[in-house]
Structure 1
Amino acid sequence: MHYEHAARVKRIEPPLSAEEARRFDEADNLFRGDLLSVLAESMLQVYMDMPTGKDMWDALEAKFGVADAGTELYKMEQLYDYKMVDDRSVVEQAHEIQMLAKELSNMECVLSDKFVAGGIIAKLPPTWSGFATSLKHRRQEFSVTDLIATHGVEENARAKDTRGKRVHDEGGSRANLVQRKNPHAAHKKKKTKNFIKPKATTFKKKSKEKGGCFVCGSNEHWAKDCPQGQAKEISKHGH
Structure 2
Amino acid sequence: MSVISKIVPELANLESLDGHNYKRWSQKLLMYFEQLEIDYVLFNDPPKPITPTDVETTPPAAKDVKSNEEDIAKFVKDNKTARWHILNNMTNTLFDLFAVNKSAKFIWESLETKYGADDAGKTKYVVGKWLGFQMADGKPIMDQVHVYENLCADVVNEGMKLDDIFIANVLLDKFPPSWTHYRNQLKHKKKDLSLKELIGHMRTEEANRLKDLPASQSVDRSACCSLLKLIRLSPVVRLMLRNIRKAAKGPIVWYVCGKHGHKAYQCSEKKSAEANVVVTDDVIAVVVVKTNLVGNVL
Equivalent residue for 1:59? 110
Counterpart contact for 2:49–2:72, Cα < 8 Å: no
Name which of structure 1's ranges 100-109 and 124-133 shifts more when overlaid on structure 2.
100-109
Equivalent residue for 2:6? none
Displacement of 1:122 after TM fit?
A: 1.3
Change (3 A) 1:39 1:113: closer
Counterpart contact for 2:135–2:175, Cα < 8 Å: yes
Aligned residues: 165
- Structure 1 letter corresponding to 2:162: L
Structure 2 residue ranges without an equivalent (≥5): 1-35, 52-64, 218-298
Identity across matched positions, percent: 24
Matched, 1:146 2:197: yes
- Corresponding residue SS for 2:137: coil
Matched, 1:93 2:144: yes
Of residues 20, 32, 37, the one that matches 1:2 is: 37
Matched, 1:119 2:151: no
- Structure 2 letter corresponding to 1:98: E
Counterpart contact for 1:98–1:144, Cα < 8 Å: no
Structure 1 residue ranges without an equivalent (≥5): 167-239
Measure the CA separation in 2 of the matches of 1:41 and 1:126: 44
Write out the 4+ residue segments of structure 1 that deviate beyond 6 Å after TM superposition.
Answer: 13-16, 67-72, 159-162
Measure the CA separation in 2 of the matches of 1:157 and 1:36: 49
Measure the CA separation in 2 of the matches of 1:40 and 1:158: 44
Measure the CA separation in 2 of the matches of 1:162 and 1:155: 11
Change (3 A) 1:116 1:53: same
TM-score normalized with structure 1 length: 0.50
Matched, 1:132 2:183: yes
The root-mean-square deviation of aligned C-alpha atoms, in Å, is 4.1
Counterpart contact for 2:164–2:195, Cα < 8 Å: yes
Counterpart contact for 1:82–1:123, Cα < 8 Å: yes
Measure the CA separation in 1 of the matches of 2:139 and 2:89: 40
- Corresponding residue SS for 2:179: helix
Displacement of 1:107 after TM fit?
A: 6.3
Displacement of 1:120 after TM fit?
A: 1.5
Counterpart contact for 1:10–1:52, Cα < 8 Å: no
Counterpart contact for 1:98–1:116, Cα < 8 Å: no
Summarize the alignment of residues 62-211 of structure 1 with structure 2, pairs less than 5 Å apart.
62-65=113-116, 74-102=125-153, 104-105=155-156, 109=160, 111-155=162-206, 163=214
Change (3 A) 1:114 1:29: same
TM-score normalized with structure 2 length: 0.42
- Structure 1 letter corresponding to 2:201: T
Change (3 A) 1:12 1:69: farther
Cα shift readout 1:107-154 (whole Å, capped 9, x = no counterpart): 665533212211121112344334333322221121223323333454
Equivalent residue for 2:46? 11
Displacement of 1:103 after TM fit?
A: 5.0
